[in-house]
Amino acid sequence: MARQMVMVGFLQAQNCTNLPASWRHPDSRTDFLSADFYREIAHVLERGKFHLAFFDDRLAMPDRYGGDHVHTVEYGIRCVKLDPIVTLMTMGMATTRLGLGATCSTTYYEPFHVARMFATIDLMTGGRAAWNVVTSLNDGEAMNMGRDGVLEHDLRYDRADEFMEVVLGQWDSWEDDALILDKASGRFADGARVHRLDHVGPYFRSRGPFTVPRSAQGHPVVIQAGQSGRGRRFAGRWGEVIFVTSGSIGMGKRNYATLKEEAVACGRDPDRMLLCNLVTPVCAATKAEAEDKMALIQRLPLEIDQLSLLAEALNFDFATKGLDEELTDAELASFSGIQTIRDRVLALSGKRNPTVREFMQLSHRGRPDDAIVGDPKGVADRLEEMFTEHVCDGFVVAATHVPGGYADFVEFVVPELQRRGLYHTDYTGATLRENLGLPRPELGAWRHAVPTSV
Ligand SMILES: Cc1cc2nc3c(=O)[nH]c(=O)nc-3n(C[C@H](O)[C@H](O)[C@H](O)COP(=O)(O)O)c2cc1C
């Protein structure tokens, strides 16, 4: 069968989409504290045959800017964050085929706990669960979780590697045919087919046996979005669905090849790793209508949205600087969050010491400037180019407002992609893995993924 796109909805269990200004959009639903809000999004995505809906997460509201939360709350800059896993269940109960992913940090939870939550969701949804593995990035999260500050970047990934060994090890505790449930003989399960992990490592200890049997899809799908060199090695070892952001076709193709090589270097089949590129579509029946929609959206963001989100993501207080003041070498080196944002701004500005304003203009953080605006043909053309040029295997679709951002995509772009044979017309399987074309993992298969490139 011809290669087809994977479609993922980029969701937030919060008061706005990843565009903070989205809550001010006239068509945004404001009942984001209700289950019905998430159910409607789930229905829209399933109508559009999305493979997966996934919630991002951060364990703090953005309060790094000025060391204060008042601006965050006043302007609604991602200040409400519900628990994504609990919210996910409301969507799971409202759908039958849509995959369901949530973000959970390897830095602030115990692996046994994370393994049990996601394995349970996987069972409750008939094998549709996925876990977005993140290492967390700023001091606000650290302080909410009882630490003084964020751990050093690469150390977070070293711990995360071991975290994965424990989670996957626990998920493999129960062999597939361990359950017997024979009332006549009185045998509930085969004791020889349920194993203890007995993990003892530098960062974690976890004994087992695990308390949740395997699901229809074996275990939840692992999502990852590491972008730094260390992050990409991690993604190459563990990730089955990878989120990427590509500046251009050329850069995206190189990034695609690098990530697939990381998987090969770990002894993995690169086709079992699906790269999904972040896109923000703004679409309508005609190009002119789409441009009108975009003009409205462009008027929504505030300067403070950008400053606050940059401070949050880079873990640096931009309020200590004037907008046109250059960042010093020491300040740039101290950024401990998403380092690719810094590296891209340095590359795009061609400067060693960009100003705060250049960070705002070149990162586009908190703004929808990189949206794909157009009629069905125009948007589909752009997605087709990225897909056929091997920038990605599919897309993480962000919304400028909800549910309208998704509803427009499903109404205008999905039928055009289906007409071109680039996107499936219906779900072919029951589990997320079946719909993604990923095989059900053998017990212990992950143990073969050992990096040789490091
Ligand atoms: C589409 C997408 C979604 C992401 N979602 C989250 C998230 O929910 N929580 C989080 O802490 N980081 C999230 N990240 C950030 C990544 O996990 C990662 O930290 C970032 O891309 C920087 O890479 P690095 O960790 O290798 O430096 C996301 C990244 C992308 C591209």
* Residue 109 confidence (pLDDT) above 80: yes
Output the CA 346–ligand 1 centroid distance in Å. 19
Q: What is the pLDDT of residue 448?
A: 76
With the CA atoms of 316, 322, 326 and 329 taken in that order, what torsion angle do they form, in degrees rounded to the nearest 10?
-30
Q: Which atom of ligand 1 is nearest to the CA of 157?
A: 25
pLDDT band at 262 (very low <50, low <70, confident <90, very high): very high
Output the CA 137–ligand 1 centroid distance in Å. 9
- Whether the model clears a pTM of 0.85, i.e. scores above it, the answer is yes
**Nearest CA owner, ligand 1 atom 9:** 57
Q: What is the pLDDT of residue 452?
A: 64
Rounded Cα distance between 132 and 140, Å, is: 20
**Nearest CA owner, ligand 1 atom 13:** 134
pLDDT band at 354 (very low <50, low <70, confident <90, very high): very high
Q: Which domains are assigned to the chain?
A: 6-301+368-448 (3.20.20.30), 303-367 (no CATH)
Instruction: Indicate the average pLDDT of the chain.
Output: 96
* Residue 453 confidence (pLDDT) above 60: no
Output the CA 225–ligand 1 centroid distance in Å. 5
Over range 56-76, report the average pLDDT.
Answer: 96
Give Cβ neighbours of residue 209 (< 8 Å, ≥ 6 apart): 173, 174, 194, 195, 196, 197
Contact 405, 29 (CB under 8 A): no
| Alpha carbon 36 to chain centroid, angstroms | 23
Render pLDDT for 120-158 as a digit per residue (tens, 0 to 9). Answer: 999 999 999 999 999 998 889 999 999 999 999 999 999
